[in-house]
Amino acid sequence: MTALPMAAPLHIVFNLGAGHGSAELVEQAITQACASAGRAVHLLRVDDPRRLGDIARQAVQAAVADGGVVVAAGGDGTINTVAQATLGSGCAFGVLPQGTFNYFSRTHGIPAEPDAAMQVLLTEQAHPVQVGLVNGQVFLVNASLGLYPVLLEDREAWKRQLGRSRLVAFGAGLLTLLRGHRSLRLDIDVQGSRRTLRTPTLFIGNNALQMEQLGVPQAQAIDAGALAVVALQPVGRLDLLGLVLRGALGRLGDADQVTHFGCQRLTVLPPWRWGRRRVKVATDGEVQRMRLPLEFSVSPTDLQLIRPAAPAPERQDP
């Protein structure tokens, strides 16, 4: 635990496009809570997602200068970007969850309601939290390649048309699966041991709550300081849908067509026919292209997250 000065200013990176609620109501909750606590707050509003990274870095620079706290107000993608800028800066990190799933905040017992989340920020201390890395890029919830990044891109396209909800996300994912997807042949190195996987998607988890809800036993590996690796074996569309159903029911780890294990470091090596080309990689719901090899690892530096001392993460509805 890191003791914070009770007067430490809050530098809040507020993604106006995240979540379902009113940005005005969230901003009102922020200003009222800080005024009641006599706490200085600097609100950095983001109305263009392309500026999120730059604004996050500005917030970190300001927090380093005045001994403040960097806060991400948004969904898992926003939290990821602000965490990337904060990691290694020495600043404490806070979260005001505004997304659809909010896996990171739920895991660490941070409430979804703005008023309650502000009380956590204003009254609790910072605790070390594990961070995953892929080629230097932070992931707090998961990273993946293959089918899952494609599913995320399709989901975002549907959300732009129909709005953000879990029902839209599920429907978009179902349509993506019905279209089918070719399997990848991946040469991987797991902490010095080489193996080959054929899989439609490689999923690296860093969130125990998500792994528990899928029914993957490597949730315990994450709690012990490792990453959870999940790979589906090549299957037909109907079998793939069956695996998705198993995941929804919390029984994915029981399926014979699923490989899962824990590790602290995994490298996806570039086959000769791929060279050093770039592949799509999703990190906490955001898709980008990265050059092979892909180095997945646990960061040697923790994120200093302001959260309840004994968080009671939600374990029910995914």
In the structure, what pLDDT confidence band is assigned to residue 315 with cuts at 50, 70 and 90?
very low
Domain that holds residue 190: 137-298
In the structure, what pLDDT confidence band is assigned to residue 1 with cuts at 50, 70 and 90?
low
Mark whether 122 and 142 lie in a shared domain.
Answer: no
Q: Assess if residue 74 is contained within a domain.
A: yes
In the structure, what pLDDT confidence band is assigned to residue 9 with cuts at 50, 70 and 90?
very high
pLDDT higher than threshold 50 for residue 32: yes
Q: Assess if residue 207 is contained within a domain.
A: yes
Mean pLDDT of 73-100: 94
Q: Which two tokens stand for residue 140?
A: 């707090």
pLDDT higher than threshold 80 for residue 137: yes
Q: What pLDDT sits at residue 28? A: 94
Share of the chain above pLDDT 70, in %: 81
Cβ–Cβ under 8 Å, residues 10 and 94: yes
Q: Assess if residue 280 is contained within a domain.
A: yes
Query: What would you measure as the largest C-alpha separation in the chain, in angstroms?
Result: 62
Mark whether 120 and 166 lie in a shared domain.
Answer: no
Mark whether 116 and 248 lie in a shared domain.
Answer: no
Mark whether 68 and 202 lie in a shared domain.
Answer: no
- For the entire predicted model, the pTM comes to 0.86
143 or 184: which leads in pLDDT: 143
67 or 219: which leads in pLDDT: 67
Mean pLDDT of 149-178: 58
Q: What pLDDT sits at residue 234? A: 77
Q: What is the 3-state secondary structure (H, E, C) of 44-95?
A: EEECCHHHHHHHHHHHHHHHHHHCCEEEEEECHHHHHHHHHHHCCCCCEEEE
Mark whether 162 and 19 lie in a shared domain.
Answer: no
pLDDT higher than threshold 80 for residue 169: no
Q: Assess if residue 180 is contained within a domain.
A: yes
Mean pLDDT of 90-112: 92
Mark whether 114 and 209 lie in a shared domain.
Answer: no
Q: What is the mean pLDDT of the chain?
A: 86
Mark whether 108 and 257 lie in a shared domain.
Answer: no
Mean pLDDT of 38-66: 96
pLDDT digits (tens, 9 = 90+) for 289-310: 999 999 999 999 999 999 998 7
Mark whether 48 and 69 lie in a shared domain.
Answer: yes
Q: Assess if residue 3 is contained within a domain.
A: no
Mark whether 154 and 260 lie in a shared domain.
Answer: yes
pLDDT digits (tens, 9 = 90+) for 211-269: 998 888 888 889 899 999 999 887 766 777 776 676 676 777 777 888 899 999 999 99
Mark whether 102 and 235 lie in a shared domain.
Answer: no
Mark whether 151 and 66 lie in a shared domain.
Answer: no
CATH code at position 120? 3.40.50.10330
The closest alpha carbon to 110, from 317, 308, 293, belongs to 308
Distance from C-alpha of 46 to C-alpha of 132, rounded to nearest angstrom: 25
Q: What pLDDT sits at residue 255? A: 79
14 or 241: which leads in pLDDT: 14
Scored b (16 or more CB within 10 A) or e, 78-93 reads bbbbbbbbbbebebbb
pLDDT higher than threshold 90 for residue 189: yes
